[in-house]
């Protein structure tokens, strides 16, 4: 017994990465365990019911899981844990949703007491119809998502074998001249297509859009793409025109400003969730065409109402794309039951090692508050404290110093507070992009930045997602949305796109020492540290002295 794996009683698995069997073991356990942390020496995986059911859905059985644990484990695996794994996995597939030739959608069971148990649940009762035989009950087709979600909550996840509608066919081809899908992207597309529906987890900058395009080329049908905002929608359109056989006219934008419905339509979450007089007027978009594929960009941001609509779309293929399945609201299980199980996942560092994302140097710059600032901070109202310490003047000096050091490179300054950004923009003589900046202006500035006409850009959180800034090599974060871990990941993603000259990216986080800014920063950084991005800490004084 000298395996690379240590099985903990709280169902976490510790994988020693330097062990010679580590790769083998990683492949064996990745099927059922979620990678929770991937710092430099020991990676932590967690075995959850969701993960085990994911594995069942992917065709693994309990025996394989138990074998993998026992084979690689350094210490004897607690018997109770093995029993628990087997029992949990055994719960999946007792219930199946399938198409019945005469009764339509039905829920069948191989274990009658389970069916009896779930039918007794108050939450299931309104979703099912007549009992067809002792083992079968009819389900209203419109409740397919709802019942899956509820069954998962009851602990009896149903296997969905009811299949998908093909949707309206539309020819889409990948236009691979001068580029090709990377191996992991191909793998992701394949896994997704094989599984029918599901989520692909890739780091920012690893080319999630291309996974979407690849999937569309597989589906060859009309596609609805849901994205976070208009800029992102334009980005998708731009990318699709460039990478596929689709033309500008075939791609529609459905946003606050434009309401086009084309064979491929890109809609924003915002417009879908706009409520007028208690109704969602734009919901009909889902029914406006016979969509064959629905792509959810940044699925971890999926707003709650969209979950509800998605429940009604269970007959369509669904692809979720995200950099992290961490949701601050803990609704990961809804993603599992409504979009689908995780189909592909790769640690960031692994993709970096393959050279597809740039290596990054993460630095936290600790700024000391001056005495008068400290006094002001101590007396500030609780809700103003973060704003106060996050926008301290000292940060401006440090930011300027960093910008000076990297003069000539493409630099992004990212922040939360508009006043601070405006001030920074003024001092750095750089344009500021914020919520009120018009889309036209934004695109103009982004283009200029891309072309190298301007080298410093100050952006608010509007730029958090999905804007392709290929040549940004330095990002300086001066403030953020409190302790949001996924925001930090997204921002780091801004500089991780591979650089033309292959040099390193820099990610600076400027933090006020001994304030809640530092606490939030620690929380934000934890996710990245767990992804293997270790932060270096530098004192502002040192940096200024060097600068």
Partner 1 sequence: MSTPGPRSLAEALRLRDDASLAALLRARPDLITPVPSDLTQLATRAGTRASVVRALERLDRFALQTAEALAVASDPASYDELLGLMTGDEGDPKVTAALPRAVATLREQALVWGGEDRLRLVRTARELLAPSPQHPSPTGLGPTVQEATAGMSPGRIQEIVVTAGLASTHDSVSAVAALTGLFNDRGRMAALLAEAPAQSREVLERLVWGPPYGQVTAEPAAHLRHLLDRGLLLPTAPGTVVLPREVALHLRGGRAHRTTEPLPPAPEPTAVHRPQVVDATAAGQAYTALATVEELLKDWDEGGPAVLRAGGLSVRDLKRTAVALDVSEPVAAFWVELAYAAGLLASDGEADERYAATPAYDEWLEQPAAQRWARLAQTWLTATRTPGLVGGRDAKDRALSALGPGLDRSAAPEVRHRVLTLLAGLPEGAAPSPDSVLDRLRWERPLRGPQQDDDLRARLARWTLTEAELLGVTGRGALSGHGRALLGAPAPTGAAKKGGGREAAESGTATAGPSRPRVDDNGPGDKLPVHHTPVVVEPLSPPEQAVASAAAARLLAPLLPEPLDHVLLQADLTAVAPGPLQRPLADMLDVLADVESKGGATVYRFTPGSVRRALDAGRTASDLHAFLAAHSRTPVPQPLAYLIDDVARKHGHLRVGAASAYVRCDDDALLNEIMADKRAASLRLRRLAPTVLATQADPATLLDGLRAMGFAPAAESADGDVVITRPDAHRTPPRAAPEPVPDGPPTPDATLLTAAIRAIRAGDLASTTPRKQPPSATAPTGALPRTSSAETLATMQAAVLTGEALWIGYVNAEGAASQRVIAPIRVEGGFVTAYDHTADEVRTYPLHRVTGVAELADET
Closest distance of CB 56 from partner 1, Å: 23
Which residue, 12 or 273, is less far from partner 1 as judged by CB? 12
Q: Write out the two tokens for 263.
A: 């064979």
HSE-CB for 148 with a 13 A CA cutoff: 32
Which residue, 65 or 433, is less far from partner 1 as judged by CB? 65
Which residue, 76 or 330, is less far from partner 1 as judged by CB? 76
Closest distance of CB 21 from partner 1, Å: 14
* CA 292 to chain CA centroid, nearest Å: 22
Tell me the C-alpha to C-alpha distance, in Å, between residue 280 and each of 273, 290, 543.
6, 20, 52
Place of tokens 């969209």: 306
Which residue, 211 or 369, is less far from partner 1 as judged by CB? 369
| Burial degree of 451 (CB within 10 A; 0-12, 13-18, 19+) | exposed
Closest distance of CB 339 from partner 1, Å: 29
Give the list of residues 6+ apart from residue 204 with CB closer than 8 angstroms, or none.
323, 489, 490, 492, 493, 494, 496
Which residue, 28 or 124, is less far from partner 1 as judged by CB? 28
Closest distance of CB 35 from partner 1, Å: 13
Which residue, 385 or 427, is less far from partner 1 as judged by CB? 385
Helix 382-390 and helix 371-379: axis angle, to 10°?
A: 150
Which residues are near partner 1 by CB under 8 A? 1, 6-10, 12, 14, 16, 37, 39-42, 44, 73-79, 364, 371, 374-375, 378-379, 513-514, 526, 529-530, 534-537
In DSSP terms, 33 is beta-bridged to: 47
Closest distance of CB 47 from partner 1, Å: 12
Closest distance of CB 381 from partner 1, Å: 10
Which residue, 120 or 536, is less far from partner 1 as judged by CB? 536
Closest distance of CB 61 from partner 1, Å: 18
Q: What angle do CA 201, 331, 314 make, to 5 degrees?
A: 75
| Burial degree of 115 (CB within 10 A; 0-12, 13-18, 19+) | buried
Closest distance of CB 127 from partner 1, Å: 33
Question: What is the DSSP code (8-state) at residue 216?
Answer: H
Q: Write out the two tokens for 178.
A: 């001068």
What is the SS3 string spanning 252-288? EEECCCCECCCCEEEEEHHHHCCCECCECHHHHHHHH
- Alpha-carbon span 506 to 518, nearest angstrom: 20
Which residue, 259 or 513, is less far from partner 1 as judged by CB? 513
Neighbours of 15 (CB within 10 A): 25
């Amino acid at each position: 017994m000298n395996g690379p794996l240590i099985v903990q009683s709280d169902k976490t698995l510790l994988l020693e990465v330097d062990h010679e069997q580590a790769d083998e073991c990683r492949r064996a356990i990745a099927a059922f365990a979620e990678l929770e942390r991937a710092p430099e020496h020991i990676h932590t995986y967690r075995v959850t019911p969701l993960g085990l059911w994911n594995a069942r859905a992917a065709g693994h059985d309990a025996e394989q899981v138990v074998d993998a644990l026992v084979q690689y484990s350094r210490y004897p695996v607690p018997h109770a844990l093995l029993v628990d794994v087997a029992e949990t996995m055994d719960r999946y597939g007792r219930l199946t949703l399938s198409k019945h030739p005469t009764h339509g959608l039905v829920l069948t069971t191989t274990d009658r007491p389970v069916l009896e148990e779930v039918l007794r649940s108050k939450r299931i009762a309104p979703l099912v119809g007549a009992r067809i035989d002792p083992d079968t009950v009819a389900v209203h087709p419109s409740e397919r998502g709802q019942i899956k979600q509820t069954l998962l909550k009851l602990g009896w996840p149903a296997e969905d074998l009811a299949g998908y509608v093909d949707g309206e066919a539309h020819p889409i081809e990948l236009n691979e001249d001068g580029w090709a899908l990377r191996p992991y992207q191909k793998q992701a597309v394949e896994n997704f297509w094989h599984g029918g529906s599901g989520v692909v987890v890739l780091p920012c900058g690893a080319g999630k859009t291309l996974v979407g395009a690849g999937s569309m080329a597989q589906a060859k049908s009309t596609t609805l793409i849901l994205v976070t905002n208009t800029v992102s929608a334009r980005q998708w359109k731009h990318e699709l025109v460039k990478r596929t056989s689709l033309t500008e006219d075939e791609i529609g934008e459905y946003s606050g400003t434009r309401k086009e419905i084309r064979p491929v339509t890109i809609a924003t979450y915002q417009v879908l969730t706009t409520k007028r007089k208690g109704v969602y007027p734009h919901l009909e978009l889902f029914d406006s065409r016979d969509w064959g594929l629905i792509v959810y960009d940044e699925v971890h941001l999926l707003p709650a109402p969209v979950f509800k609509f998605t429940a009604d779309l269970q007959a369509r293929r669904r692809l979720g794309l995200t950099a992290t399945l961490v949701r601050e609201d803990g609704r990961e299980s809804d993603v599992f039951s409504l979009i689908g199980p995780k189909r592909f996942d790769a640690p960031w560092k692994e993709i970096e090692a393959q050279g597809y994302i740039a290596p990054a140097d993460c630095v936290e710059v600790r700024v000391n508050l001056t005495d008068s600032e400290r006094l002001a901070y101590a007396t500030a109202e609780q809700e103003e404290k973060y704003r106060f310490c996050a926008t301290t003047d000292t940060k401006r000096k440090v930011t300027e110093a960093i910008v000076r050091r990297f003069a000539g490179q493409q630099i992004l300054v990212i922040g939360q507070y508009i006043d601070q950004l405006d001030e920074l923009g003024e001092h750095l003589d750089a344009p500021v992009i914020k919520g009120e900046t018009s889309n036209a202006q934004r695109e103009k500035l982004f283009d200029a930045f891309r072309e190298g006409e301007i080298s410093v850009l100050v952006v608010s959180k509007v730029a958090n997602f999905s804007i392709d800034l290929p040549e940004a090599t330095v990002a300086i974060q001066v403030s953020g949305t409190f302790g949001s871990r996924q925001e930090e990941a997204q921002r780091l993603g801004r500089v991780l796109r591979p650089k033309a000259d292959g040099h390193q990216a820099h990610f600076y986080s400027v933090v006020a020492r001994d304030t809640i800014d530092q606490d939030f920063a620690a929380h934000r950084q934890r996710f990245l540290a767990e992804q293997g991005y270790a932060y270096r800490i530098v004192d502002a004084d040192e940096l200024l002295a060097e600068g």
